[in-house]
Structures are given as structure tokens and as C-alpha cells.
Amino acid sequence: MLVLSLNCGSSSVKYRLYDWDRKATLTTGVVERVTIGDSLCTHEVPGREPVKIEHDCPDHREAIKLVLEVLQHPDYGVISDLSTISAVGHRVVHGGERFAKSVMITEEVIAAFKKLYDLAPLHNPPNVLGIEAAQELIPAVPHVAIMDTAWHQTMPSHAYIYALPYEWYERYGIRRYGFHGTSLLYVAKRAAVLLEKDPFECNLVTCHIGNGVSLNAVKNGVSYDTSMGFTPLEGMVMGTRAGDHDAAIDFYIMQKEARTPKEMNSILNKRSGILGITGKYTDRRDVVEAARRGEKRAELAIEIESYRIKKYIGAYTFALGRIDAIVFTAGVGELSDTIRAKSLDGLHHLGIRYDEEKNRLARTRHAELEITGQGSKVRIFVIPTDEERVFAEDVVALVEGKYDIHTNFTYRFQSPDYTNTLRNLEFAKECQENPRLFDIMAPVARKAFLKEAERNEELRRLVAKIPTRR
């Protein structure tokens, strides 16, 4: 069974084709500058050089049409024709209160997404455009919606209701929804595997830190509270989003500078956060490097972001009563030892201690690592997220009639023996350059890695070249 995943943003279409039976990613790619002009498709197939295709895409239909043409291309495609695709999974950012799990897409479901346009004006419209275009171009297969908000529908009302006039919730649906749910679900389930515990006995603080940032309190295996709110603007300091701040500031500046609500919304979402503090950076690698050069505003941005993360870790620890593990994921969480260290420093009084050397080494997107320090009562993991894996499993289970809400459904990646072959191959190559990486793999992950090496000749050859494994 081949599953095509589509993620349609306002000006982009990301895609992935996954072979469910072989457990292999056939290709990934992205079409950028959709609706803008000078559109470009970057198409990647494992083991081959990336291919770039220039093709103007004035709308999402044309972009998805391009993706389908690329998948079938005689030179760099991976399938002979579209009939080989069994199902399509679509990312939908906002599912409101109606959807607590992935669903088959019907006209009624699309109508529900359209009613949520006001809640997610930048995301749901292109998501729906992508769904409608794909249904037109590939009409004979099931289409499935996977929603960012679904994971958080377990939050109790005292965590999601704001201290605002209650009728705003009743009339307009104003409440905390939370986002990044697919990523947070994946790392929560994997953390339970690494802890060797029943997922519904685990209390976690999961930290999805990328350009967008979500912290999630997981109580007994379900989302209990999360830092993003009615929109993705609330919570952490992010690449360009302000996160938590006094709302009166917005009105003050609107009055002082004669800003419209639309202009202020743009400033808070696109010109604030790390960019607002530094004036020029959003990528944390650039910020860390600038701080090393002595740029004071870069230093300040790191301190502000890390302090906010630390506050939320502390707050969620007390809200949950106890925590079994802290998990870092997404681009910054997986790669920035600086942000992780500064977010964890000083939490020893909560029983949270990290190993400085392990944290410094933990920079990969291909393996699950553990950076727990000696004497720590809380384990600390770095888990590369895999939203596309959740997409594929939800789609296949729905098509086969076996799917349910995650509290009644077990994912294949919840097995202790689960591995990602492509990631394992890349990690083995990284370990040849830095063999100490292998030593900080989480024990359960290392065992599964070595078990796969016994049956995978290519991986076995790579592992044999790791200095510590000779």
C-alpha cells in the first residue's frame, strides 16, 4: 500500500510517498512559492541527488498536479502511474472541538473545516484547497484528514477555558486548542517505549522547539495542558512569534503608531520573537553563532527563550505532580545543545539533572538519545519527531477499518522493536565520524538498532565501521 501525505501551507505543498508494506519512504519533497511566482519543486529520493524543477504554480491545484507529475516522471519519479497510490493523508491545522482523531474526508468534513476559517485563517484555507485539488486529481482513493489540534482534545476545561466572558467561548469557540499535536503524539508514545512503561502511566513534559514552539504537559498518556492557545501565537518565544506578553501592549502600540488590527497581528506573528529581539535572526544556529561573537541581542534572545521554556517546564512539573521524563524534539530541540542546556540549568531542585557532555554530543535527527544526568529523578530524552509516520499509520488504519482515538489504538511505532531504517543508516554514518553518539542512544532504541543491523546487510556494514563497534 502506497500512502501519499500532503501538507498544504499558504504558499507551499510538502509531500511524502510511503510504502507501507516495505516500511520505506520512497520520496519526499516540497513545492515552494505557490501563488507567488517562480515556483520551485525540490524532489528527494533516498540514495539519489535531489532534483529541482521550476514550474509556475499560481494555485494549489497546479502545485499538486506538479507533485503527481513528478512522482510519475520517467527519469526521477518513483511510481509508474497514479493507480499505485492507495490513499492520501492531508494535514489540517485546525479541527476545532469536533475532531479528536483523524477522519475520512467527506463533504461534511470539508464543510466543518471551512467553518473554522476564522480560527485558522492562514492555515485552514490552503489545507482545504489542497484537499479539494487532490480529490479532483486522484478521485478514486480515500482521503484522510490528520489534525494538529486533535491530540489536545483530552485537555480538561480548566486548562482550555480562558478567564474571559464565557459567552465568547459559547458564541465564537474562543478557548485553548493547542497545536503541533501530531508531533507531540509521536514523541509521547515513543517516550513511553523508551521508559519501558505503559503509555497511560506516563507523565511527561514534551518540548517541540522549532521555528514554532509548543510545550505539552502529558498526564497519564494524554494531553493535559499545552502552551499554544487559541492560535499558535501564545506561549513560548518563537522564531517570529511573540508568545506570552501583556495584551495591553498591543493596544498601546496600536494607539501610539496608528496600527490596524491586521498590522498588529502581522507584527506579533511575523516580526516578533527571536527576530524581534535580534532584529535579523530567526534560525537558532545563527543566533548561537552571533552570541559567540559577542552580539548582545543574540545573547539576550537565547536567555529569554530558554527562560520561558524553563518556566513552563517548572509549571508543568508542578501541575502534573510528578514527571517521568522531559522530551526535546523538532529542529531546535533535536540539535541545539545550547537551548536545551539553558532550559534545564537550575532545575536540580525538581530532581531534573542533565549530563553536560551527553547534551553537548546530542546533535542528530536520526536517533533517540538520552542525556539524563547522574542522580536525576527525571529522565531526559532527545527524540526526533516523525509526523509523517503518524500520518501513514492513521491513513492505513482508517482504510482498513482498524483506527480509533489514540487511547484505544496502538501504533506500530509503539513496539520496542520499531526502527526507522533510513534514519538508522544515516545515524550509523554519523557514528563513524562521532562514535560517542552511539553510546548515548537510549537503551531501548540501541537494542532495536542493533537487532535491525543483524538482518539488514547495509546497516550491518556501516555499524562494523563505527570505531567503538570493531
Q: Rounded distance, CA 162 to CA 171, Å?
A: 14
Q: Please, what is the average pLDDT of the chain? A: 93
Mean pLDDT of 107-115: 92
Whole-structure pTM value: 0.92
Q: Is the pLDDT of residue 469 over 60?
A: no
Backbone angles phi, psi at 19, to 5 degrees: -90, 105
CATH fourth-level superfamily of 198-382: ATPase, nucleotide binding domain (3.30.420.40)
User: Which is nearest to 138 in space by CA: 199, 85, 176, 78?
Assistant: 85
Residue reference for cell 488504519: 397
Which of 6-20, 58-72, 147-161 has the least mean pLDDT? Answer: 6-20
Assign residue 314 a region (left: φ > 0; alpha: ψ between -120 and 50; beta: otherwise).
alpha
- The answer to whether 387 touches 7, Cβ cutoff 8 Å, is no
**For 399-444, how does the pLDDT look when each residue is reduced to its tens digit (9 = 90+)?**
999 999 999 999 999 999 999 888 899 999 999 999 999 999 999 9
470 pLDDT higher than 50:
no
Neighbours of 225 (CB within 10 A): 23
Please report which confidence band the pLDDT of residue 157 belongs to, taking 50, 70 and 90 as the band edges.
very high
C-alpha separations of 86 from 20, 102, 140, 396, 455 in Å: 10, 17, 9, 9, 28
Task: Say how far residue 399 (Cα) sits from the centre of its chain.
Answer: 24
Residue 105's pLDDT band, with cuts at 50, 70 and 90, is: very high
Which one is catalytic: 59, 75, 118, 148? 148
pLDDT band at 177 (very low <50, low <70, confident <90, very high): very high
Confidence of residue 11 (pLDDT cuts 50, 70, 90): confident
pLDDT digits (tens, 9 = 90+) for 33-91: 888 888 999 998 887 888 999 999 998 889 999 999 999 999 999 999 899 999 999 99
What integer pLDDT is reported at residue 468 of this predicted model? Answer: 67
Q: Retrieve residue 243's grid coordinates.
A: 508568545
Fold of 2-147: Nucleotidyltransferase; domain 5 (3.30.420)
Known active-site residue 246: no
Write out the residue limits of the CATH 3.30.420.40 domain(s) in the chain.
2-147, 198-382
